[in-house]
Amino acid sequence: MTATMIKEFRLPDLGEGLTESEIVSWKVNVGDTVSLNQIIAEVETAKAVVELPSPFAGVITALHEQPGTVVEVGKPIVSFEVEGDAGGQPAAAAESVAPPAKREPNLVGYGAVVESTGRPVRRQRNFAAAPPVVEPVETGPVETGRPVVEPVETGPVETGRPVVEPVETRPVETTTDERPRSTPPVRKLAKDLGVALEDVRGTGPGGLITRDDVRNFVGGEGLPAASEEPVAAAGQPQRAVPGQGERETRTPIKGVRKLTAAAMVSSAFTAPHVTEFLTVDVTPAMELLARLKSGKAFAGLKLTPLTLVAKAALLALRHNPTLNSRWDEDSQEIVQFNYVNLGIAAATPRGLMVPNIKEADRLTLAELSAALTELTETARAGKTGPADLTGGTISITNIGVFGIDAGTPILNPGEAAILAMGAVRKMPWEYQDQIALRQVMTLSLSFDHRLVDGEQGSRFLADLGALLADPGMALAMA
């Protein structure tokens, strides 16, 4: 059989007991022909970002969810047009073993179905509002347990089907009524108000006693307004006022945003930050940059102010190695790195990331420039690998690209220093005892004051500034 058919693929539970996942990206488009197990999407769960291999070989006919959407497990996310026997799936075999009824199997990887209709009728619970009807039909040995069918009196039973009420074989006196159904906060409210829940009639599903039931029971006789307000406020966050448009948008904190936040909080509240600023006339550095760009040695390479600042920082670090170290709280040791893995803060599609260039101190200016280009392009494409994100020893953040001059950057956790480079601006500046229009940049350096004293931080910043103000200083420092 070669007839084609449309198959939907529903989002499986990719971890253990997950209820939803976010589509990070699609690796295919509608109309693409895909093979079995070809990666079709990247999905972020609460546990991991995982790749989804195609369950079928065929043609993509629809992508039901956009990237960035959080999808409930079990919802269709993609449709395929497949041959009758495509995907290596023995369709015939699968069909032959499927039960004849229209029953939808709960696929193993799909976890629990949250909402379901037509649920089977379960044994009715006994409520105070609907007293249990217990008939001691049997006084013999416990073994019998013969079910007795009784008509339903109340409760949430949608169908008219009878409810099976297994009869307790114990004497009536010892039958314990279940306590009225309610939730812990409601029980607390009732207790606070001195209400016995047994006296309250529940109006919620299955006779559940709600907060309102308790309040109504108390009636007008003095529910302290003071206690009502905070309870209501805590229970339900205020939503948008209808008809006025949404006044606030709530986005769950997760993924990279959550990790970034945790890293920032941990860094900000464990490492005492000091930030120093230095504004430098970088005209000579910019002139050098222009000369290098036009020269043959750097043909094809992308030279930017960041390239020079990074190189200058690496040179200055040689004389101020303290800034390239780590406070190891666990072992009560200061780890001095004898290499530099230079982190560069990058805005990526998945949020802020600080990939680093390994052994950056060993690179020539040309190599450094190539490494920076590769790093930023990889980050922008969202393809930064985990190896690039770990093991950094010091970082640079280029806030100048946003037209910003200075800031107080927060340390990348585990590092002793971070440099923010500001925008290069033409400003009136002192030059050879005159006022001249010069290219000026502000450098902001934050450092971990546990490791780095003001003297060391200041010397590093001054060396860096000297190099940018007069690149010839490199000869003196090399």
Partner 1 sequence: MVTDDAGQGGTTAGRDNKTGHQGGAGHNLVQLITPAGERVSHPEYDPWVRDVSDEQLCSLYEDLVVVRRIDQEATALQRQGELGLWPPLLGQEASQVGSVRSLRDDDFIFPSYRENGVAYCRGVDLTDILRVWRGNASGGWDPYTVNMAIPQIVIGAQTLHATGYAMGIQNDGADSAAIVYFGDGATSKGDVNEAMVFAASYQVPLVFFCQNNHWAISEPVRLQSHTHLAERGTGFGMPSMRVDGNDVLAVMAATRVALDRARRGGGPTFIEAVTYRMGPHTTADDPTRYRDANELEDWAAKDPIGRVHALLDRKGLFTEEFESSVRTKADSVARELRAGCVGMPDPEPLDVFKHVYSTPNSWLDRQQDHYSRYLASFGDPAGAITEEGAR
User: If binding is defined by CB under 8 A, does position 332 make contact with partner 1?
Assistant: no
User: If binding is defined by CB under 8 A, does position 319 make contact with partner 1?
Assistant: no
Span of 110-118, 186-194, 198-206, 267-275 interacting with partner 1 by CB under 8 A: 110-118
Which tokens go with 369?
């420039």
Q: Cα–Cα distance between 156 and 202 in angstroms, integer?
A: 12
Span of 82-90, 130-138, 398-406, 456-464 interacting with partner 1 by CB under 8 A: 82-90
User: If binding is defined by CB under 8 A, does position 110 make contact with partner 1?
Assistant: yes
Span of 107-115, 129-137, 244-252, 289-297 interacting with partner 1 by CB under 8 A: 107-115
Shortest distance in whole angstroms from residue 48 CB to partner 1? 3
Sheet holding 58-63, edge to edge: 5-10, 76-82, 58-63, 33-34
- Can you tell me whether residue 325 is helix, strand or coil? strand
Is the CB of 55 or the CB of 465 nearer to partner 1? 55
User: If binding is defined by CB under 8 A, does position 386 make contact with partner 1?
Assistant: yes
Chain positions 205 to 224 lying near partner 1, rule: CB under 8 A, are: none
Shortest distance in whole angstroms from residue 412 CB to partner 1? 16
User: DSSP labels for 20-83?
Assistant: EEEEEEES--TT-EE-TT-EEEEEE-SS-EEEEEPSS-EEEEEE-S-TT-EEETTSEEEEEEE-
State which of residues 103, 247, 250, 296 lies at the interface with partner 1 (CB under 8 A).
103
User: If binding is defined by CB under 8 A, does position 58 make contact with partner 1?
Assistant: no
Please, which contacts does 383-389 make with residues 24 or more away whose CB atoms are closer than 8 Å?
Answer: 384/346, 384/348, 384/353, 384/355, 388/355, 388/356, 389/353, 389/354, 389/355, 389/356
User: If binding is defined by CB under 8 A, does position 55 make contact with partner 1?
Assistant: yes
User: If binding is defined by CB under 8 A, does position 88 make contact with partner 1?
Assistant: yes
User: If binding is defined by CB under 8 A, does position 101 make contact with partner 1?
Assistant: yes
Nearest to 418 by CA among 457, 371, 380: 457
Chain positions 232 to 271 lying near partner 1, rule: CB under 8 A, are: none
- Lay out the site mask for partner 1 across 146-165 (x = CB under 8 A, - = otherwise): -x-------------x--x-
State the residue for tokens 């600080």. 354
State which of residues 29, 31, 66, 93 lies at the interface with partner 1 (CB under 8 A).
93
State which of residues 2, 3, 31, 120 lies at the interface with partner 1 (CB under 8 A).
120
Q: Do 384 and 353 contact (CB within 8 A), yes or no?
A: yes
Span of 241-249, 274-282, 329-337, 396-404 interacting with partner 1 by CB under 8 A: 329-337
- Can you tell me whether residue 344 is helix, strand or coil? strand
User: If binding is defined by CB under 8 A, does position 390 make contact with partner 1?
Assistant: yes
State which of residues 218, 223, 335, 404 lies at the interface with partner 1 (CB under 8 A).
335
State the residue for tokens 């829940």. 197
Residues touching partner 1: how many (CB under 8 A)? 54
Q: Do 406 and 386 contact (CB within 8 A), yes or no?
A: no
Q: Cα–Cα distance between 406 and 277 in angstroms, integer?
A: 8
Backbone phi, then psi, for 326, in 5-degree steps? -140, 140
Is the CB of 68 or the CB of 109 nearer to partner 1? 109
User: If binding is defined by CB under 8 A, does position 16 make contact with partner 1?
Assistant: yes
Told to judge if 64 belongs to the known catalytic residues of this protein, a careful annotator would answer no
Q: Which of 64, 273, 319, 449 is catalytic?
A: 449
Is the CB of 395 or the CB of 446 nearer to partner 1? 395
Q: Is 38 exposed, middle or buried (0-12, 13-18, 19+ CB in 10 A)?
A: middle
CA dihedral (370, 372, 377, 379) positive or negative: positive
User: If binding is defined by CB under 8 A, does position 14 make contact with partner 1?
Assistant: yes
Span of 84-92, 274-282, 288-296, 458-466 interacting with partner 1 by CB under 8 A: 84-92
Is the CB of 188 or the CB of 258 nearer to partner 1? 258
User: If binding is defined by CB under 8 A, does position 15 make contact with partner 1?
Assistant: yes
Which tokens go with 23?
């589509």
Span of 142-150, 208-216, 231-239, 466-474 interacting with partner 1 by CB under 8 A: 142-150
Nearest to 26 by CA among 55, 69, 57, 56: 69
CA–centroid distance for 256 within its chain? 5
Element (H, E) at 219: none
Catalytic sites, residue numbers: 449
What are the residues binding partner 1 (CB under 8 A)?
A: 9-16, 37, 47-53, 55, 88-90, 93-94, 97, 99, 101, 103-110, 112-113, 116, 119-121, 143, 145, 147, 161, 164, 328, 331, 333, 335, 385-388, 390-391
